[in-house]
Amino acid sequence: MTNKTISFNTGRTYTEHGQRIAAMQLGNDVLMVDYDRCIEYLILDCPLDQFSIMYLYDKNLRCNYPKMQHKNLAILSRLARLVN
């Protein structure tokens, strides 16, 4: 089974590249990387779409730091490649 992923740029001016986000669905949750701000979150009970991810991320709702297990590190690395 392949996990679905998305990537997008919010257009916010955090860096010269904007704000690049990549995310992967993990069951009912979303593992997301804000590449330009160097932030990773596991957003609980979140659909894999830009609006839902940014709404919860901006309001810091249901956002948890992912446990840095080997599996999560590999996923975060894969997501970082999506935005480059």
- Name the pLDDT band for 4 (thresholds 50, 70, 90): very high
| Segment 10-25 mean pLDDT | 93
- Name the pLDDT band for 68 (thresholds 50, 70, 90): low
Rounded CA-CA distance 42/30 in Å is 6
Inter-CA distances, 60 with 26, 53, 64, 67, 82, Å: 19, 10, 9, 17, 23
Domain tally for the chain?
1
Rounded to two decimals, the pTM is: 0.79
Structural domain that includes position 17 = 5-82
- Name the pLDDT band for 73 (thresholds 50, 70, 90): low
Tens of pLDDT, residue by residue over 33-56, are: 999 998 888 999 999 999 999 999
